[in-house]
Amino acid sequence: MEPAVKQAFNQGNLRANAAYQASRRNVTIDPITRLEGHGKIDIYLDSKGDVERAYMQVPELRGFEVFSLGRPAEDMPQITSRICGVCPTAHHMASTKALDDLYKVEPTSAGRKIRELVYNTFVLEDHALHVFVLGGPDFIVGPDAPPAERNIVGVIGKVGLEAGKKVIGTRKRLRELIAYFGGKVVHPVLGLPGGVSKPLNPADLPKFQQLAQDGVEFALWTNDVFKQIVLGNPGYVKLITSDAFTHKTCYMGMVDEQNKVNFYDGKLRVVDCNGKEVCKFTAQQYREFVAEHVEPWSYMKFTFLKQRGWKDFVEGPDTPIYAVGPLARLNAADGMATPKAQVAYEEFYKTLGSKPVHHTLATHWARVIEMIYAAERIEQLINDPEITSPEVRRVPTNGPQEGMGVVEAPRGTLFHHYQTDDRGVMTMANMIVATGNNAARIAMSVERAAKGLIQGVKDAAQVPEGLLNKVEMAFRAYDPCLGCATHSLPGSTPLRVKVYDRDRQLLRELVQG
């Protein structure tokens, strides 16, 4: 269409729309019609009316490489932090570490500690948000509570108003620490190859030391709330440990030299479904250990353990499929590096009976344990005499070529990989995000939920209404990125499920969001 015609058409549309609004006062958006940005799930039945396969697709971010090419590599920590409004600090840090590697420069000791301090603060804040606001309502308010109550308002109703103020207040103070160093939370300007841009002024130390102390108390309180409300309820425990939410896969997570969980730096360790170490590697070796599989039904790339080869969506000791995220990190490590988190870690495995824990919904508890670690680590770092050192950066002297950086984002392992020309201009950019690392296991969870609910279905009426909620719970535990956009509308999980009969005829469509 000619641009002029197009413009006239659109303006006409806008006027018609405005006229309609004027006559009706407003246009109500039926959330059920928000189709384009949906997670799409297609379920195919066999001749008996049982599930043969279930396929899930999510809208994905496009054009990262094209957008990056030709830009100075130094811009990447800022650009990548703007990709996602949910985990800007994770992208910023993975990107900064990729720049260290690109210029082969080791950050100064103080610079490294400031990065780790900021990073743990981010993880603590993001995890707290998830526990109380996003994933937590399912458990704190209850999985069977009406959707209208399964939200932050319902959570405050359950934990109390004062506790609600504590959550909101702590979150705000944690963000102030991130902003102190980064200037902004959504677009931090902190990491530079070889260190950070700003030291910590000793005069500002006391307020952050107080924050660290309060952070530990806050995390321990959260663990108590979780244990009391969730673990104190046999119904919830039964749900968490049910077969519908259990998968025996491998687990990947970053560990320090003692094989303890670390979010900022270390090696990536993978254990199999029996907890046996499969491999351990650095960011620079990731391509030797991680490969991507493509399925004809999805644009999504499914990562798997390269040395095991792709074997379809299978579980068990030989599966190449691995999970990332809080549960995977706990499973892949031998313990936590801080004392109070270690106590919680031991209680976690004792309560759930074995290690690794394969129950996807146990991720919520694992997240709380990681909050304790993050808070304790903040306290260690803020009380480290070196944290106020002015030597926060080592200026790179080597020419750039290729760099990889990895961090544990709140939702799981995040890889950044860049190549540049000798001026440091980007010639290649690749990124593997947590949702990509989890994609195969998410697909398995969705199929499992569908199989549990659809059996012997002959007609549309036999497709159960509860299908959508159950499927949603199956993938919500992974907190997947359904396109990294910042839409606040319509504010609910966009999901569409289509069920096809044996002749590939559409039997029923369920939509929400």
Partner 1 sequence: MREAVMAQPETVSSRPPCHAETAPPRVLVLGLGNAILSDDAVGLHVVRALRGRLKPDEDIAAVEVEEMGLSLLDYIVGCRDLVIVDSIQTGRVPPGCLHEIDGDDSLTRRGGSPHFLGVGDTIACGRLLGLAMPERIRIFAVEVDDPFTLGESLTPPVAAVLDDVTDRVLQAARSLATA
Minimum distance from residue 468 beta carbon to partner 1 (Å): 12
- What CA–CA distance (Å, rounded) separates 140 from 152? 10
Instruction: Tell me if 76 sits within 8 A of 95, measured CB to CB.
Output: yes
Complex with partner 1: residue 60 or 256, whichever CB lies closer: 60
**Which residue from 58, 53, 33, 32 is spatially nearest to 43, judged by alpha carbons?**
53
Instruction: Tell me if 471 sits within 8 A of 449, measured CB to CB.
Output: yes
Site map 345..384 versus partner 1, x via CB under 8 A: ----------------------------------------
Report 96-155 residues binding partner 1 (CB under 8 A): 129, 133-134, 137-138, 147-148, 150-153
Site map 176..215 versus partner 1, x via CB under 8 A: x-xx--xxxxxx----------------------------
Minimum distance from residue 8 beta carbon to partner 1 (Å): 9
Report 437-456 residues binding partner 1 (CB under 8 A): none
Check residue 165 for interaction with partner 1 (CB under 8 A): yes
Question: Site size for partner 1, by CB under 8 A?
Answer: 81
Task: Tell me which DSSP letter residue 416 carries.
Answer: E
Report 52-81 residues binding partner 1 (CB under 8 A): 59-64, 66-67, 79
Q: What does the DSSP assignment read for 328-374?
A: HHHHHSSB-SSHHHHHHHHHHHHHH-SSS--BGGGHHHHHHHHHHHH
To which residue do tokens 């036999």 refer?
A: 462
Which tokens in the block code for residue 299? 């644009």
Minimum distance from residue 174 beta carbon to partner 1 (Å): 11
Choices 89-97, 98-106, 332-340, 480-488; region in contact with partner 1 by CB under 8 A: 480-488
Instruction: Tell me if 424 sits within 8 A of 400, measured CB to CB.
Output: yes
Give the residue, chosen from 76, 86, 118, 283, that forms a contact with partner 1 under the rule CB under 8 A. 86
Report 4-43 residues binding partner 1 (CB under 8 A): 6-7, 9-11, 13-14, 17-18, 21, 26-31, 33-37
Strand pairing of 39-45 and 51-57? antiparallel
Check residue 489 for interaction with partner 1 (CB under 8 A): yes
Minimum distance from residue 408 beta carbon to partner 1 (Å): 18
3-class DSSP assignment, residue 323 = strand
- What CA–CA distance (Å, rounded) separates 509 from 507? 7
Instruction: Tell me if 283 sits within 8 A of 415, measured CB to CB.
Output: yes
Check residue 425 for interaction with partner 1 (CB under 8 A): no
Residue 510's DSSP bridge partners are: 497
Minimum distance from residue 487 beta carbon to partner 1 (Å): 6
